[in-house]
């Protein structure tokens, strides 16, 4: 088996070498070659036809990809419009219907391009490679024929004729001729037939493509007109004031800074939380207080509680000083100080929700409990503000005092 394979390989190499030598001699003009002008024209036509078919196939494929991308963009646009277009606006249901129509149009168009244009065009171009291989094989067999012809001519011109070699060369030439002429005859039939297909193929491809395009354009135009009518009606309804927002009589005013009373100059000015919260006039901005009073608020309103510099339960808040010096955080009346961990002055419960407005503040919901601690630097203490730790999260920060009540 190995000997057979080796012999076939050696024969193939010898054939290729002989063919290459013959082509070199032909190119150098030292050996003549068989010429067929008619077939040469057939081959030129075939090459041009194959090139054009491949170009058309490439562009139709690209066109289909772009149409699919446009379909996707159109679908995304309508989805966004469906979300932006509010349900109470006129034409909301019609907008949804037209979006569905547009989607179906593009889906049908892309299917037609794929099935009726690109698929037949793909089948058309797929026949070219096989015929190209047959043309190349015919060329090789023609070179073999010329090579065998030259060998026979050389043997016949030799001074000492070897009839055995001449007979073998004649048989090889006849075999090469039969092989070549069989291929040549097939191509003489196939190439003109294939070349004649170019016109009906191009016509059919253009017809299906542009018929589908004309349909989608015409129907899309109808959809666009319907959408234009919807937008026009919405604009007219808006002009009538149909969707005009009801406005309040007047905006809520900001809180007003009131001067402290002479007899209590060091105490913070506290305005009822049902209106606005007055904070320090030195650093913290005015905070809009809650509008409604929390249902948990019982007993004496916290607004009435004054931060007085006096003893509570027989003690004075740590770091409290007098005679014009810094006064630390004061414990209000009613605050329980017994049994608290070290460093905790007293505890408060949130009576209103507060959202922090700076990084050193804390937010809380109604009912949350906060442990009040001393300012790290009492000199930076601001009127109406406390420092505390939320029991639920252990967050530490500043918060407005009159959003809470002591417990």
Question: For residue 20, what pLDDT is reported?
Answer: 80
Question: For residue 79, what pLDDT is reported?
Answer: 95
Mean pLDDT of 64-78: 96
Mean pLDDT of 103-114: 97
Give dist(CA 148, CA 153) in Å, integer. 9
**In the sheet where 369-373 sits, what is the strand order?**
396-400, 385-390, 369-373, 344-350, 404-406
* Chain segment 237-288, per-residue pLDDT in tens: 999 999 988 776 667 666 555 554 444 444 444 444 445 444 443 455 445 4
Question: For residue 6, what pLDDT is reported?
Answer: 61
Mean pLDDT of 115-143: 96
Query: Which range among 138-152, 246-260, 317-331 shows the weakest confidence by mean pLDDT?
Result: 317-331
As given in the structure block, the two tokens for residue 173 are 């030439």
As given in the structure block, the two tokens for residue 232 are 């026009």
Question: For residue 254, what pLDDT is reported?
Answer: 67
Contacts of 9 (CB under 8 A, 6+ apart): none
Q: Is the pTM of this model over 0.75?
A: no
Residue 173 has pLDDT above 90, yes or no: yes
Question: For residue 28, what pLDDT is reported?
Answer: 75
As given in the structure block, the two tokens for residue 99 are 């979006």
* Chain segment 41-61, per-residue pLDDT in tens: 999 999 999 999 999 999 999
Question: For residue 12, what pLDDT is reported?
Answer: 66
Question: For residue 379, what pLDDT is reported?
Answer: 80
Q: Is-contact 382 353, C-beta < 8 A? A: no
382 — pLDDT class (breaks 50, 70, 90): confident
* Chain segment 176-210, per-residue pLDDT in tens: 999 999 999 999 999 999 999 999 999 999 999 99
| Among candidate residues 252, 131, 257, 108, the one with its CA nearest the CA of residue 187 | 131
106 — pLDDT class (breaks 50, 70, 90): very high
What are the chain's domains?
8-239 (1.20.1270.60), 267-407 (2.30.30.40)
Please give the helix or strand (H or E) that residue 288 lies within, else none: none
Question: For residue 284, what pLDDT is reported?
Answer: 55
Question: For residue 269, what pLDDT is reported?
Answer: 41
Question: For residue 321, what pLDDT is reported?
Answer: 41
As given in the structure block, the two tokens for residue 393 are 């999260």
Please, which contacts does 260-269 make with residues 24 or more away whose CB atoms are closer than 8 Å?
264/306, 266/309, 266/327, 267/306, 267/307, 267/308, 267/383, 268/307, 268/383, 268/384, 268/401, 269/383, 269/384
* Chain segment 15-34, per-residue pLDDT in tens: 667 678 887 887 777 778 88
Give dist(CA 403, CA 407) in Å, integer. 13
- Crossing angle, helix 2-27 and helix 128-157, to 10 degrees? 80
In a 13 Å sphere around the CA of 257, the CA atoms on its Cβ side amount to: 10
Query: Which range among 115-119, 129-133, 225-229, 256-260 shows the weakest confidence by mean pLDDT?
Result: 256-260
Residue 116 has pLDDT above 90, yes or no: yes
126 — pLDDT class (breaks 50, 70, 90): very high
As given in the structure block, the two tokens for residue 245 are 């927002």
């Amino acid at each position: 088996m190995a000997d057979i394979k080796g012999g076939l390989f050696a024969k193939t190499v010898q054939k290729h070498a002989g063919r290459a030598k013959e082509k070199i001699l032909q190119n150098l003009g030292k050996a003549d070659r068989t010429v067929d002008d008619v077939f040469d024209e057939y081959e030129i036509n075939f090459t041009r036809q194959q090139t054009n078919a491949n170009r058309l196939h490439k562009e139709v494929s690209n066109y289909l990809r772009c149409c699919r991308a446009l379909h996707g963009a159109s679908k995304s646009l309508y989805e966004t419009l469906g979300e932006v277009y509010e349900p109470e606006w006129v034409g909301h249901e019609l907008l949804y219907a037209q979006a569905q129509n547009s989607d179906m149009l593009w889906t049908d168009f892309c299917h037609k391009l794929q099935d009726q244009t690109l698929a037949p065009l793909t089948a058309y171009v797929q026949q070219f490679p096989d015929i190209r291989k047959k043309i190349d094989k015919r060329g090789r067999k023609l070179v073999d024929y010329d090579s065998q012809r030259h060998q026979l001519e050389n043997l016949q011109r030799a001074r000492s004729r070897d009839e055995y070699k001449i007979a073998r060369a004649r048989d090889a030439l006849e075999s090469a001729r039969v092989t070549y002429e069989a291929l040549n005859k097939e191509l003489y039939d196939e190439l003109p037939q294939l070349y004649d297909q170019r016109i009906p193929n191009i016509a059919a491809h253009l017809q299906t493509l542009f018929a589908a395009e004309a349909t989608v354009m015409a129907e899309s135009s109808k959809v666009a007109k319907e959408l234009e009518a919807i937008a026009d009606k919405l604009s007219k309804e808006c002009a009538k004031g149909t969707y005009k927002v009801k406005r309040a009589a007047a905006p809520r005013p900001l809180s007003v800074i009131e001067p402290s009373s002479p007899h209590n100059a060091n105490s913070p000015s506290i305005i009822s939380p049902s209106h606005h919260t007055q904070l320090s006039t030195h650093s913290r901005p005015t905070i809009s207080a809650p509008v409604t009073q929390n249902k948990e608020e019982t007993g004496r309103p916290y607004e009435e509680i004054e931060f007085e510099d006096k003893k509570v339960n027989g003690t004075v808040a740590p770091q409290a000083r007098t005679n014009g010096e810094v006064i630390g955080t004061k414990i209000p009346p009613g605050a329980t100080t017994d049994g608290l961990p070290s460093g905790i002055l007293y505890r408060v419960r949130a009576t209103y929700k507060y959202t922090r407005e700076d990084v050193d503040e804390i937010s809380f919901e109604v009912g949350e409990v906060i442990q009040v601690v001393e300012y790290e630097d009492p000199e930076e203490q601001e009127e109406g503000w406390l420092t505390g730790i939320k029991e639920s999260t252990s967050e530490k920060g500043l918060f407005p005092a009159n959003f809470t009540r002591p417990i």
